[in-house]
Structure 1
């Protein structure tokens, strides 16, 4: 079954539970539909989104945790002080008359088209390794004593993008090499090397930093 079909299945159960002014636990719902408890949140999210987009009471507040008897706040966003009111809103709504959204109704909230650009720059082109990767790569390079063959594939991407090969000798010959590593990663913390920058300029900036630490 698809996620949308599972959501329809769960919707019918919750609508009937609401009619009887009851709640049910994640464990019970898991047994009713034959899905592990760990996978329920993923299936409840489309129902949650559908209710929000259509200004309906949150049906998902009827699914509660076994130990506390409370809904999952991460899923529903419901504060403890609002649970009773939100559940009452669900109980008072005529879900049987509203009907089941059917898979197509849930597919509309599952598929969300995100923009492919940010401030005029395509998010799928000229991908820049994150500063976190840079810092981890430098630590790995240090422990590997400069042997780049020991770097992981994603670490090699960061190594190449920041042109570390051009300053590696100075980096490891420096008495302050650890401080230099830290400073290098902090100086690029805002966004890493800008794709608009020329390789020579990037390399020159890194080399100047290495020379100050030598």
Structure 2
């Protein structure tokens, strides 16, 4: 499975999380996907982060956090650390289900990793 296919899976998980006003740790996302290792999850989040930034959506990836800090990892570069709470609220309030779901090609086009 490509990283863009994984990104699409994670997109679905995260828009449901946004609706429920919750976040997931990297490890929880890894377990849901059945990939075992949480250290690869950032690779899959990059295309989502860049896509959201490119099209003007809130940073959906702010909902994936480190277990030890409860904050996103250093790879979240589209949101400053002092704006994390504000951005999380934007993600929670955004109507993700009103959007046409992104396609794998959308993630490929906007991925800057």
Q: Normalized against structure 1, the TM-score is what? A: 0.50
- Unaligned stretches of 5+ residues in structure 2: none
User: After superposition, where does 1:33-112 map in structure 2 within 5 Å?
Assistant: 33-35=33-35, 36-110=37-111
Structure 1 stretches of 4+ moved >6 Å? none
Q: Secondary structure at the match of 1:76?
A: coil
Alpha-carbon distance in structure 1 between the residues aligned to 2:68 and 2:88: 18
Do the aligned partners of 2:51 and 2:111 also contact (CA within 8 Å) in 1?
A: no
Determine the structure 2 residue equivalent to 1:14: 14
Do the aligned partners of 1:22 and 1:62 also contact (CA within 8 Å) in 2?
A: yes
Deviation at 1:77, TM superposition (A): 4.3
2-11 or 100-109, which deviates more: 100-109
Alpha-carbon distance in structure 1 between the residues aligned to 2:86 and 2:66: 18
Alpha-carbon distance in structure 2 between the residues aligned to 1:95 and 1:77: 19
- Unaligned stretches of 5+ residues in structure 1: 113-214
Q: Normalized against structure 2, the TM-score is what? A: 0.91
Q: Which has the higher contact order (CA 8 A, sep 6+)?
A: 2
Deviation at 1:38, TM superposition (A): 1.2
1:182-210, Cα deviation, whole Å (9 max, x unpaired): xxxxxxxxxxxxxxxxxxxxxxxxxxxxx
- Structural RMSD (CA): 1.6
Determine the structure 2 residue equivalent to 1:30: 30
Q: Secondary structure at the match of 2:49?
A: helix
